[in-house]
Amino acid sequence: MSLPAASSPLTRAVAWLGGTCFVAALATGAWWFGVVLATPAPGSGARPLALLWNVLVFTIFAAHHSVMARTRAKDWIRTVVPPDLERSVYVWVASLLFIALCLSWQRVPGVVYTATGWTVGVLRAVQLAGVVFTLAGARVLDGLELAGIRQVLGPPRPADIRVVWPFTVVRHPIYLGWALLVFGASPMTVDRLVWALVSTLYLVIAMPWEERSLSAAAGPAYSAYCRRVRWRMVPGLY
């Protein structure tokens, strides 16, 4: 059976449904971290097996990102589905894995701290900055392209480097936004702290790999951009 052409209604439907799944995954993550993990789990104790499980499932989710984002994996996917659906396949798998990660999370009791007084305003400002960096970064990158939809709507855009805010502050402002959002949370339950630490550690480890792929796609322009914007994620630190 031959595969549908990239411009076929079926291909477009798959991409749009993948985008819907992407939005559903984001909503699930916001609900899970913002509502479910904000309430301390019942009981007491460290529950090392639960911690180990949570690190394991997050590692599986992160491994998908690292493997499927590589050029060889992308080339293989294009031999299985129409080329314009390569990003959509990535989005489908990532979204479903992220939802599974949230729903399979094993709760761990305990509260690290709860903000009071003026610290409440400080942490809210930190999270607001996280929202700004995330939305501004996504706007520059094109949300439809990130969701795998733009690729089926017309000719692919050439790989280019747009050195505009917030990409003039750090090279990965969406990752900075993520860190501000998760570490600015209060109450900081043990669940939230584990989520914040494991997810941010993954981003720190994955960024050099991601930048190799970006350099291969954009060529010398990306190397020049890296020289211009020194910091990857946190100004003055990393």
The backbone torsions φ and ψ at residue 113, rounded to the nearest 5 degrees and listed phi first, read -160, 160
CB of 22 within 8 A of CB of 91? yes
Please, is 43 exposed, middle or buried when counting C-beta atoms within 10 Å of its C-beta (0-12, 13-18, 19+)?
exposed
**What single string gives the DSSP state of each residue in 28-40?**
HHHHIIIIITTSP
The tens-digit pLDDT sequence of the chain (238 residues) is: 444 444 688 999 999 999 999 999 999 999 999 999 999 999 888 799 999 999 999 999 988 877 877 778 888 999 999 999 999 999 999 999 999 999 999 999 999 999 999 999 999 999 999 999 999 999 998 889 999 999 998 776 666 778 899 999 999 999 999 999 999 999 999 999 999 999 999 999 999 988 988 888 888 899 999 999 999 999 999 9
Which residues, in sequence order, are bridge partners of residue 111?
Answer: 189
Which of 106, 94, 122, 100 lies closest to 185, judged by CA? 122
CA dist., res. 175 & res. 233, Å (int): 7
Contacts of 201 (CB under 8 A, 6+ apart): none
Contacts of 116 (CB under 8 A, 6+ apart): none
